[in-house]
Each structure stands twice: as C-alpha cells, then as structure tokens.
C-alpha cells in the first residue's frame, strides 16, 4: 500500500466525525460564490433551473456552489453521476450528504446508512415489497382513494395539491401502519408527520425552545416514535398485511429481530419519503395533463379499456401510456430537487481534484433535460419512453427519477403502484382543466410543486 493510499484509508475511517470541506479547500474549482451568508440560495429559489444552466454554461459540469447553508460542488451530467452513484471505490457518502437536512429528525433512517451497513439494513424491507404484500397494499389503497376523490366533487375552488396530500396521508396511515383512515390515531399521526416536515425540518433556528418551529417538530417526532414503537410488539404478534407488520417480523442472519430503534426510524422515514415524493409527482402529472388535454383523454381511454372499478396489481403493466406519462412527469419535474453526497476521501470528479468531506449537489432536472440525450427536452412527450423510441436508454444515468446504484429508491415500485392506482380512478371520475394559459411559479423547497397549489376545474364524467 502506498503512503498516499494508506493516508486516504486512515482518513476514511473517521469521515462521519469531520466537518465539511471549506470554500477555501475548493478555491481551485471555478464557480459563483453569491452574496454573503445566503450565497446563491436566493437565485436558486427564484429560478432553480436557470441557475443550473448558468453554472453549466460558465463552468461546465463541475463547479463550486455556495448554497448559503453550506457550500460544495454542483455536479452535472450522466457520466459524473455514474461515477457517484455506482461508487466503485466507496468515495461518496449519502449519510454525510443528507445529515444536515435529515439528521435532526431521521438520523438512523435507511438513507443515512452507508456501504455495508446500508446493504444490511435494506434487508428489513425484503418481505414488505414482495408481490403478495404489494397486492395487499393496493387492496387497502383503492377504497381510501375512492372516498377522497368522490368528496372533491362538492368542493368549490378546488386545489389539487392539498387534496392529494390529504389523500396520500390517509393511504400512508393505513398501508404503512394499519391504522383506520377515519380514526383518531391516524389523524394524530398524520398531523405529527406534517409538523415534522413543515415545521421542524424547515426551521431556520434549530433550538428546542418552546414556541419555535423546531421545538414543535421535535415534539411531533417524539410522538411519532413513541406511537410506532408501542405498536411493534402488537404487529409482531398479529397477522396484519400492512407494511409495518412485514417489517417488524424481519430477522437478521442470527435469527434476531432488528432493533426497535432502527425499525421506528425506518418506518417513519419511509412514510415521509413515500408520501412527499408521490404527492409531488402526482401534482406535476395532473398539472401536465391539464395543460395537455389530448394526453389526458388518451390516458382516460386507456383506463376505461380495463372495464373495472379499481386497478389490480396484475394490471400494473396493462397501462403503458399512463406509465410513460408518469415517468415523463418525473423527468420534467423530479420529486427531489437536489440529491446530495459527501466525499469520504480525496478523489477526482470531472477532471478536478476534490478533497475529502466535500458536499456534492446533484440536481436530477439537469440530466433530465440535456439536449445531448433527449429530443426536444422541454416538451411533455410521454411517447419518448415507448418501445419505438426509448430515449431514456441513451445513458444509464440520464434519468435518475428514483436515484441509482446501491441507494436506488427502495420503494420505487410501491410509488408507481400508488400513483397508477390514484390516476386510474381520477381519470375515470373527472375531466379536469387548469386555468387558461396556466404557467405557475414552481416551488422547489421544501417540496417541488406548483406554487399556487394547482387550482383545477373538475367536471364529473
């Protein structure tokens, strides 16, 4: 082993205890520093995609980026993402990349586990995502979705985003934890989830002082953890078909249950991740179908062709147009605006020497709209995913709607099933329109969505 290799190996051993690399460590990499304290964050909020394009045109695929709350490297392009996501040399830590954004509330979750530990923890979810389990989840989802969709007919000035958010929270309470979607326990758990996501995780002052949002978020997370941990023994004894009932019965190679502390964190995080991303994805898809009524009608006719009230699990491959439209929506409007990693040791990315502990900012939208890989990349064109064109196969990392590599979204098929089940019913119930010439401001933080909550005119079919 060379001296340099030995030093790098030793440095990697304690990478979780070290601070992020400073801007001074990255001064050899060109980029835009922005304004004091806030950096480029105000521009990112105002015109996220424009900022990405500006960096690319001025500096190429790798550049310095000051986000105000931290600084690091903006990494663009499928080939660079291939290096980061496949991570053959174990240089890139998701745990340290997401620690600042998730660590206060989900420090032990599956996303904040690296390398062998991450691979081991993924075993918790083996049975929960098998076909029989997924069939059971879909059976629970359908009537909850139907009740919510039917109720929208009575609403004036209907806004889709809060409607789908409430719907998917009720679905999550039932599917993930087996709670009655009309019950008080589900209501309290859903409210705690909202307080964690919208108060705690978005608070600027991270102090547990009564009256501050961070304190409210911490209080809500403590309620969630306590409630879920008390359910674990009951779910282990029972014969439930909810997600939690599968997860808590998994055992390690020694025949022992996984620790309750880990299970609680995994379950609350998966509810957070699954709910937010699907809410965002469906909001954007419905917006696009409102703007493109010809595609809306095409998907509606596909849904009616199945001639049944609810979609079944075995129908998932019977709606190719809906599948392609869903992926196209994710391409144009990813449900996660910025993925992150942090280097474990010094390495090279895009021709630059990158020091250890450098945060990498990875925005999916840029790869999703590179003209080098997509035809008319700004156009909503679901047929690009069809067998005749298959544009998404020009590079394995040009589309990263569900991440990639060892950390590829563990709930990818669940999310697609959830979205298809909803759209199947919604398309058959209503014809929907966005306002004339609808071009809303698009929110990026905390959750990507139309900034005006997506007003829709619903017409009962």
Edge-to-edge strand list for the sheet holding 71-75: 31-32, 62-66, 71-75, 359-362, 339-343, 92-93
Model confidence pLDDT, tens digit, residues 99-149: 999 999 999 999 999 999 999 999 999 999 999 999 999 999 999 999 999
Asked if residue 380 lies in contact with residue 291, where contact means CB atoms within 8 angstroms, the answer is: yes
**Where do we find the tokens 């829709």?**
456
Q: What is the pLDDT of residues 42-67, one digit of tens each?
A: 999 899 999 999 999 999 999 999 98
φ, ψ (nearest 5 deg) of residue 171? -60, -45
Q: Do 334 and 196 belong to one domain?
A: yes
Is the pLDDT at 372 greater than 90? The verdict is yes
Task: Please check whether residues 314 and 388 belong to one and the same domain.
Answer: yes
Nearest to 342 by CA among 107, 110, 82, 70: 70
Quick one: 33 and 71 in the same domain?
A: yes
Residue 2 confidence (pLDDT) above 90:
no
Using CA atoms, how far residue 355 sits from 84, 100, 251, 344, in Å, is 15, 19, 39, 9
Pairing relationship of beta strands 359-362 and 71-75 according to DSSP bridges: parallel
- For the cut 60, the answer to whether the pLDDT of residue 35 exceeds it is yes
Last residue of some domain: 91, 118, 145?
Answer: 118
Has residue 430 got a pLDDT over 50?
yes
How many distinct structural domains can be found in the chain? 2
Residues 74 and 198 in one domain: no
Both 84 and 216 in one domain: the answer is: no
Q: How many CB atoms lie within 10 A of CB 301?
A: 11
Going by C-beta distance under 8 Å and a sequence separation of 6 or more, which residues neighbour residue 95? 16, 111, 112, 113, 114
Among 118, 148, 163, the domain boundary falls at 118
Confidence class of residue 204 from pLDDT cuts 50, 70 and 90? confident
Contact 453, 161 (CB under 8 A): yes
So what's the pLDDT on residue 248? Answer: 97
Residue 143 and residue 89 share a domain:
no
User: Do 110 and 252 share a domain, yes or no?
Assistant: no
Do 23 and 125 sit in the same domain of this protein? no
Q: What 3 state SS string does 410-431 have?
A: CCHHHHHHHHHHHHHHHHHHEE
pLDDT band at residue 358 under the 50/70/90 scheme: very high
**CA–CA separation, 104 and 101 (whole Å):** 7
Q: Out of 68-72, 191-195, 407-411, 437-441, which region has the weakest mean confidence (pLDDT)? A: 68-72
Share of the chain above pLDDT 70, in %: 97
Do both 221 and 78 map to the same domain? no
Of the candidates 95, 118, 141, which is a domain's last residue?
A: 118
Is 75 in contact with 81 (CB distance < 8 Å)? yes
Per-residue pLDDT at 309 exceeds 60: yes
Say which CATH number the domain at 381 has: 1.10.630.10
Tokens representing 258?
């996984």
Q: Determine the average pLDDT of the residues in 187-209.
A: 92
Q: Are residues 144 and 215 in the same domain?
A: yes
Domain region containing 194? 121-460
Q: pLDDT value at position 13?
A: 65
Give this prediction's pTM: 0.95
Q: Residue 82: what pLDDT?
A: 98
Residues 149 and 71 placed together within one structural domain of the fold:
no
- Within 8 A by CB and 6+ apart from 328, the residues are 288, 380, 381, 382, 384, 385
Residues 240 and 373 in one domain: yes
**12 pLDDT tier (thresholds 50, 70, 90):** low
Strand partners of residue 92: 343
């Amino acid at each position: 082993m060379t001296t340099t290799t030995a030093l790098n190996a030793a440095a990697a051993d304690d990478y979780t205890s070290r601070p992020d690399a400073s801007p001074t460590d990255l001064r050899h990499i060109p980029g835009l520093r922005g304004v004091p304290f806030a950096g480029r964050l105000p521009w990112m909020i105002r015109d996220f995609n424009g900022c990405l394009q500006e960096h690319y045109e001025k500096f190429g695929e790798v550049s310095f980026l000051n986000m105000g709350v931290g600084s690091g490297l903006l990494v663009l392009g499928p080939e660079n993402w291939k290096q980061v996501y496949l991570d053959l040399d174990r240089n890139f830590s998701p745990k340290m990349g997401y620690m600042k954004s998730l660590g206060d509330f989900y420090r032990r979750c599956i996303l904040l586990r690296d390398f062998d530990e991450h691979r081991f923890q993924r075993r918790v979810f083996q049975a929960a995502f098998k076909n029989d389990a997924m069939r059971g989840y879909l059976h629970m989802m359908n009537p909850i979705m139907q009740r919510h969709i039917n109720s929208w007919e009575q609403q004036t000035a209907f806004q889709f985003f809060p409607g789908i958010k409430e719907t998917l929270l009720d679905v999550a309470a039932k599917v993930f934890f087996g709670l009655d979607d009309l019950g008080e326990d589900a209501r309290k758990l859903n409210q705690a989830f909202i307080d964690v996501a919208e108060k705690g995780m978005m608070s600027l002052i991270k102090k547990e002082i009564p009256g501050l949002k961070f304190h409210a978020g911490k209080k809500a997370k403590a309620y969630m953890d306590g409630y879920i941990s008390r359910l674990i023994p009951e779910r282990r004894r029972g014969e439930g078909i909810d997600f939690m009932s599968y997860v808590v019965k998994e055992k390690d190679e020694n025949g022992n249950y996984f620790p309750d502390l880990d299970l609680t964190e995994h379950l609350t995080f998966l509810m957070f991740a699954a709910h937010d991303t699907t809410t965002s994805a469906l909001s954007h898809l419905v917006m696009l179908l409102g703007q493109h009524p010809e595609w809306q009608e095409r998907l509606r006719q596909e849904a009616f062709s199945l001639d049944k009230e609810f979609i079944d699990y075995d129908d998932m491959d019977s709606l190719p147009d809906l599948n392609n439209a869903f992926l196209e929506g994710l391409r144009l409007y990813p449900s996660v605006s910025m993925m992150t990693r942090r280097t474990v040791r010094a390495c090279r990315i895009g021709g630059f020497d990158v020091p250890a502990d450098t945060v990498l900012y990875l925005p999916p939208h840029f790869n999703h709209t590179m003209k080098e890989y997509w035809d008319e990349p700004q156009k909503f064109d679901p047929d690009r995913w069809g067998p005749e064109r298959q544009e998404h196969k020009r590079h394995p990392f040009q589309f990263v709607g569900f991440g990639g590599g060892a950390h590829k979204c563990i709930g990818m098929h669940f999310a697609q099933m959830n979205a298809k089940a909803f759209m199947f019913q919604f398309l058959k119930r209503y014809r929907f329109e966005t306002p004339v010439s609808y071009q809303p401001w698009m929110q990026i933080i905390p959750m990507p969505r139309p900034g005006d909550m997506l007003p829709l005119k619903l017409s009962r079919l």
